[in-house]
Amino acid sequence: MEINLKLFMKFKRYLPEGSDDGKAKLILDDGSTFLDLLHTIGMPAQEDKIIVINGISHKQGETVNQLVLNHHDTVAIFPPIAGG
């Protein structure tokens, strides 16, 4: 299955070689989870991040790690944002 991946700021370093503008299309096995995606790109699961899958924000942790991805899902990962 094909996943649309968008990584922002410091996370762009995890994009596959040849990616453009923070975006990449990845091929994953059917039934792959969000955690499988992280392993594929080499991003540590425990690294603080904001996760948005198909426009829906997910809290970091086991629930999102076990979420099964689907063909053409869009996964966006942002570094934590602080403000005041």
SS3 state at 68: strand
CA distances to 18, 28, 42, 48, 83 from 2, rounded to whole Å, are 17, 6, 18, 25, 35
Q: Where are the domains of the chain?
A: 2-78
pTM: 0.92
SS3 state at 37: helix
- For the domain made up of 2-78, the CATH class stated in words is alpha beta
Walking along the chain (84 residues) 10 residues at a time, the average pLDDT comes out as 96 91 95 98 95 96 96 96 66
Helix H or strand E encompassing 26: strand 23-27
Q: From CA 15, how far away is CA 28, in angstroms rounded?
A: 14
